[in-house]
A and B are shown apart, each in its own frame.
Chain A
């Protein structure tokens, strides 16, 4: 047996210091090599020429949430083909998307150029200076990169309501671009259960839809009594932090309670329709007209639950109608319809124009032009003047576009008609989008905190752990304190 080899202390220290030097030196070299080459300008006595790096050496970074990454990939391939040579690195962000993007934005991460956002997050990030407004998105050519469209073109092609969603609450400038549009919180139906409850005839395709929320709840209670369903109504009361606050705002406003005035001061109180709404919610929970387990579920679960066919009505996104009409995954298909806006108090939801933001780290004009080119392709038109990406998403997933020209496209109309329960639903969808509005509080800097505070309070109120009065009093106190805290 060989004797174990001893290493002297001196050697150990030498090795240690040597090893550390190699690691540090290697890291520094790797960092240096990974830096993208910058554009260089050469001036001679007669001409000035600027050379730009290859796009592949300085790719654009696009972080998406995990919705149809395959489709995004295909769209980006088309983008790269149309604008070759171009390079985009796409990353799917799992988990809390907004929190992770926000962390990157705070850090001024260079590996983020373009990302999705909701109205509230877009406003918050813009107000903080982490994202750019799009007012410098104008046709221009830098090197071989050509930006084709102006933000004014986008404005001209959008309805006023959709355009207003994009405007920042802090300075009124467009702070993000439109990725998709939906009415969130409108009511989808299971016509089979409605028929069993005496509210629909699936042969004649006629239905007696509720004109407002109290009527909706009365129908559901009636269907429960008739044994049509154990819990006929699937509310959006889930664990997603934004859901309850959003549906509360939608319903309160449909009941005639604006919740906030124009100065963002709370106007809801224990004597306003907001309180009636909460009392109704407590009743729905107590009688299990809405299943109690809904308080724990995510947005995705909510869709899966409705697909089981056990619920007569549910608050959903307009685009989820197409998911529910897919017989491969949904037991409701082909009997899922949508409640049209019958009166000004109808449950229609609010206008959701989710979008895409452009991050704001230091970057060259050449790179910014490339980001603008990606932005216009992804949120507006392609090189050939077509609404390529918005239409592609619409006809493959049903995810709505805010552009009327896309919605009026024959392919899109054919897709919608092929999916809906009855032809009249095409009109209903259009009416919903036209009737929808977006609550202005989504644009204030304290929206995120307000939403987070509301959710547990509303859930506790629904469960009866706290009274309606206590809930409203606390929510008012929170809103007033937040407004004061964020006052400029």
Chain B
């Protein structure tokens, strides 16, 4: 009854339609977005059209000059490829391991609550600390993995883990370790919505575990998976701290992704125009990636 009461038209000057009320509520968010997103975006786009020498405080309009230089940079395709490669690696690692862990944690067993807390721990560790931890794990000379292999007699000479060929994958493993718990809990929340009756019915029908997953679990989980894919790949594409701490973009430029190069240009060298141009190129890539996911999401829903 109260609900009906609020929809009554009132003569008070404060009476608002639902749309107006909603608009008033989101005004702070719009202002917030304009200040923290729209303005920096516009400013950085303007920077990308200029040659900025920060320490001389000079700025010269060069139009698309930075974009042309960026595309013509002999390493541009390498940076792009490394970004895509690491994004793919991280996303695959995160989604598959998160799914496996979520399915395990969805089962009923003794110590489940404790295990859920333990699983969350890597997420509680910052990306910076993750980089430091894995630097010690991977170290050729003083690393945990090498010591383990050496003590167990499997090797008699230390292994180089972060080779030019495989360094992107090992950096991806470090980042995936840090990021997986978040996705685990997204998926776990999705799994909680699957009615137990369906599993029981599937068991009665003689469905095995794989069939139960594909016919019962997956249909309920697919939207959560798509959202998780979106989040994981977006985060993977902009992962920088792990690269800074584990390899510094190397060896050579083996792990130099677009974000690493943007960091180098913008923060180390203050080459702001070029850094902004690279950032916009990355933004376009992220936009395409995000659009693709949303397209899949809404098509499925439709």
Contacts and interface: CB of A to CB of B under 8 A. Distances in A.
Contacts of B269: 448-449, 452
A295 B250 contact: yes
Given A96-B267, A291-B140, A296-B246, A6 B252 contact: no
A241 B249 CA distance: 10
A281 to B, nearest CB: 13
B299 interface: no
A293 B161 CA distance: 8
A486 B253 contact: no
A448 B269 CA distance: 6
B28 interface: yes
Contacts of B25: 16
Contacts of B54: 106, 128
Given A10-B14, A304-B142, A305-B142, A241 B248 contact: yes
B53 interface: yes
Interface in A101-127: 102-103, 106, 124, 127
B141 interface: yes
A417 B269 CA distance: 42
A230 B253 contact: no
B139 A463 contact: no
A230 B158 CA distance: 10
A9 B267 contact: no
B174 to A, nearest CB: 13
Nearest to A461: B252
A188 B262 CA distance: 37
B66 to A, nearest CB: 13
Interface string A1-35: 00000101110010010001000000000000000
Interface residues of B, number: 44
Dominant secondary structure at the A interface? helix
Contact of A460 (B28, B253, B271): B253
B59 to A, nearest CB: 13
B128 A95 contact: yes
Nearest to B54: A128
A155 interface: no
A328 B144 CA distance: 21
B6 to A, nearest CB: 7
A230 B54 CA distance: 47
Given A296-B250, A465-B252, A485-B53, A301 B139 contact: yes
A153 B262 CA distance: 44
> Chain B at the A interface: mostly helix, strand, loop or mixed?
loop
A150 interface: no
Interface string B38-72: 00000000000000011111000000000000000
A204 interface: no
Nearest to A244: B250
A98 B264 CA distance: 12
A128 B253 CA distance: 30
B252 A239 contact: no
Interface in B209-251: 244, 246-251
A455 B253 CA distance: 9
A445 interface: yes
B14 A463 contact: no
Contacts of A127: 55-56
Interface in A432-488: 445, 448-449, 452, 455-456, 459-460, 463, 465, 485-486, 488
A105 to B, nearest CB: 11
B86 interface: no
Contacts of B253: 456, 459-460
Contacts of A241: 248, 264, 268
B247 A293 contact: no
Given A304-B141, A465-B164, A452 B268 contact: yes
Interface in A74-105: 95-96, 98-99, 102-103
Contacts of A428: none
Contacts of A298: 135, 248
B248 A291 contact: no
Nearest to A465: B252
A9 B28 CA distance: 16
Nearest to B269: A449
A486 B270 CA distance: 13
A299 to B, nearest CB: 11
Contacts of B157: 230
Given A291-B141, A448-B269, A459-B252, A239 B247 contact: yes
Contacts of A239: 247-250
Given A297-B139, A463-B252, A486 B268 contact: no
A12 B128 CA distance: 41
Given A13-B14, A96-B267, A103-B267, 4 more contacts: A239-B249, A296-B251, A449-B271, A460-B252
Please name the 8 residue pairs, one residue from A and one from B, whose CB atoms are nearest each other, closest first: A239-B248, A293-B140, A295-B251, A128-B55, A460-B252, A459-B252, A449-B269, A305-B141
28 contacts: A8-B6, A9-B14, A13-B14, A96-B244, A99-B268, A106-B54, A127-B56, A128-B55, A128-B57, A129-B57, A239-B250, A291-B141, A292-B140, A292-B251, A293-B140, A293-B141, A295-B252, A296-B140, A296-B246, A297-B139, A301-B142, A305-B142, A308-B141, A449-B269, A459-B250, A459-B251, A485-B53, A488-B56
Interface of B: 2, 6, 12, 14, 16, 21, 24-25, 28, 53-57, 128, 135, 139-142, 157-158, 160-164, 167, 244, 246-253, 256, 264, 267-271
